[in-house]
Structure 1
Amino acid sequence: MRLVSFDAFRTLGLPGIHYVKPEHFLHQQALVDAADWVLFPEFWQLGTLVFALRKRIFPSLSSYLLGHDKIEMTRAFQAVAPRHVPETVIAANTPDDADRLWSTLTPPFVAKIPRSSMGEGVSLIESHADWTRYLAATPTIYAQEYLPIDRDLRVVIAGSEVVAAYWRLQSARSFHNNLARGGRIGDDPVPPAAIELALLLARTLGIDHAGFDIAMVGGHPYVLEFNRLFGYQGLNGRLDRLAGAILDHLRTQGDHHGPHDPIRPTPVWPTAA
């Protein structure tokens, strides 16, 4: 299998990888043309790779498009599993909408900047001053009910396999559970309902590389978000398993696709010197 990677770090452990710097991908188009898969492209490369060069990409296009914006992600979750999404309000950031929502929402609640990760841009709104600071930082209002939790679950999926699942305990310095924001890994058993919800969403939405964040409230799982590019801190030596799951997925999906677009010339894969 011929693989081109645009992210050397995230494809460690995969055999036969040719690494190409994202900004050089058109200068090395012959190599990209000849690849069976291109792995971990930058978001700005997707249009050319998928629609012009007709390449198979990993993670999937769904993983990129839904993972790029919390608003699109949440709407997809609501369509697939509405009972498992916290109450969420999405509105234009206008003075009228901001005043209306402040008069109807009951603090504390959570407000998020739609394009953010690792807990950045996620605020606990407890006062009007918090609300004003949030409004000054976001193009769109995304407000969500505050769940009574002091931990959540990270469920890591590659291909169709759960590679890891673990609790993230709340940081001592904030309400965030993200490891990047001071959260800690817990060792309590992971509820099967959280695994089942993550797998349901991944399979239904075509997400094949993600860390899903799941909260448990009274035994009921709620999906908070997923991160297409997740941290490795909680994998605890499972990087080989992650690489194996990715490789198995690429092989399996490759069997379900036909040859390269026939209007394009058959590329030549470089041989080792």
Structure 2
Amino acid sequence: MKCVSFDAFRTLHLPGVRYIKPEHMFRERAVIEAAEWVLFPEYWQVNALVFGLKKRIFPGLSAYLIGHDKVQMTRAFQLVAPDHIPWTLIEPNTPDHARQVWDQMPLPFVAKIPKSSMGQGVFLIENRSDWATYLACTPVIYAQERLPIDRDLRLVVVGGKLVAGFWRCQGHDGFHNNLSQGGTVDADTPLPQVAVDLVLRVSQQLEIDHAGFDVAMVDGYPYLLEFNRLFGNRGLPGLSQQVSAAILDYLQEQTERDDDPIDPTPPLPAAI
């Protein structure tokens, strides 16, 4: 299985993968065309690789398109799992829409910048000053009810299978659960099966083959918050190796399935 990667870190544990710097894509066209898989391209490369060179990429196209920003992601969630999404308002950032959202959303609430990760671009709105600060730095209004939680779940899915999961507990600010923002890991408390089942169903329905899903639990009921196509591997010891092993298994399964020709001629009926 010939693979090229545009992300050396995320394919470090995969055997026989040739790394190419993203900016060298055009120079290395022949190598890319000869590869069976192109791994972890940057977003700006995806259209050229998929539609120009007809390459199979991993993560798949759905993970890139749906995971590109929180607006696209939330709208997809609202279609496939509408009962498992916190109340969310998405509007253009205009004075009229800002006033409408402020009037509708009870305080305190959460506001997010659509293209952000690692807990950056997530605001706790408790007053008009917070709201003005948020509005000044986002192109789109994304406002969401604040759920009564002090932790959430990170569930890592590769190829439709759960690889690992853990709880992320709030950090010192009493708001963010992200590890990069001071959150801590609880790997001992069991993972709620209802959350695992929801994430596996949604990931398969949306064809998200590589993601870290964040799920909030409220009175035993799961709410999808978001997923990260490029998630961190800090949560559990050996997580990077586990993810790499799952990626390798998935790529091999997909390659064998795609390369296995289907016999178009049905078997003859048995003689009577």
Normalising by structure 2, what TM-score? 0.93
- C-alpha contact 1:160 1:249 (8 A) present in aligned 2: no
Q: 2:58 corresponds to which residue?
A: 58
Q: Secondary structure at the match of 2:243?
A: helix
**Deviations 1:149-197 (Å, cap 9, x if unpaired)?**
0000000011122111000000112400000000000121111111111
Q: How does 1:170-209 map to 2 (within 5 A)?
A: 170-186=170-186, 187-209=188-210
Q: Which residue of 1 aligns with 2:150?
A: 150
More deviation, 50-59/192-201: 192-201
1:150–1:170 Cα contact (<8 Å) kept: yes
2-side partners of 1:238 and 1:92: how far apart? 39
Asked whether the 8 Å contact 1:111–1:123 carries over to 2, the reply is yes
AA aligned to 2:139 is: P
Q: What whole-Å deviation, never above 9, does each CA across 1:66-111 have from its counterpart, x for those lacking one? A: 1111001001001001110000000011001111211221110100
Deviation string for 1:192-215 (max 9, x for gaps)?
111111111110000011000000
Question: Which residue does the alignment assign to 1:38?
Answer: 38
Cα distance in 1, alignment partners of residues 236 and 57 from structure 2: 24
The alignment's C-alpha RMSD in Å is: 1.1
The aligned residue for residue 129 of structure 2 is 129
Q: Amino acid of the residue matched to residue 203 of structure 2? A: A
Report if the CA contact (8 A) 2:158-2:210 is conserved: yes
CA contact (8 A) 2:150 2:174 kept: no
Query: Could you state the TM-score of these two structures normalised by the residue count of structure 1?
Result: 0.93
CA distance in 2, matches of 1:240, 1:31: 26
Question: Is the counterpart of residue 223 in structure 1 residue 224 in structure 2?
Answer: yes
**Identity, % of aligned positions:** 59
Aligned residues of 1:171 and 1:183 also touching (Cα < 8 A): yes
Name 2:251's counterpart in structure 1: 250
Give, in whole Å, the separation in 1 of the partners of 2:48 and 2:165.
35
**1:12 matched residue in structure 2:** 12
For 1:129 and 1:171, the matched residues in 2 are separated by 23
Match of 1:116 in 2: 116
Q: Distance in 2 between matches of 1:258 and 1:189?
A: 39
Distance 1:222 1:103 in 2: 24
CA distance in 2, matches of 1:106, 1:241: 41
1:73 is matched with: 73
Give how far 1:258 is off. Answer: 5.4
Q: Give the drift of 1:237.
A: 1.2
Partner of 2:88: 88
Contact 2:71–2:142 (CA under 8 A) maintained in structure 1? yes
Give secondary structure in 1 for the equivalent of 2:258. Answer: coil
Q: SS of the counterpart of 1:180?
A: helix
CA contact (8 A) 1:168 1:177 kept: yes
Question: SS where residue 15 of structure 2 aligns?
Answer: coil
Q: Which letter maps to 2:222?
A: P
Whether contact under 8 Å (1:6, 1:39) holds in the other structure is yes
Match of 1:254, SS state, is helix
Q: Following the alignment from structure 2 to structure 1, what is the Cα–Cα distance between the partners of residues 88 and 239?
A: 34
Alignment partner of 1:44: what SS? helix
Q: CA deviation at 1:235?
A: 2.9
SS of alignment partner, residue 10 of structure 1: coil
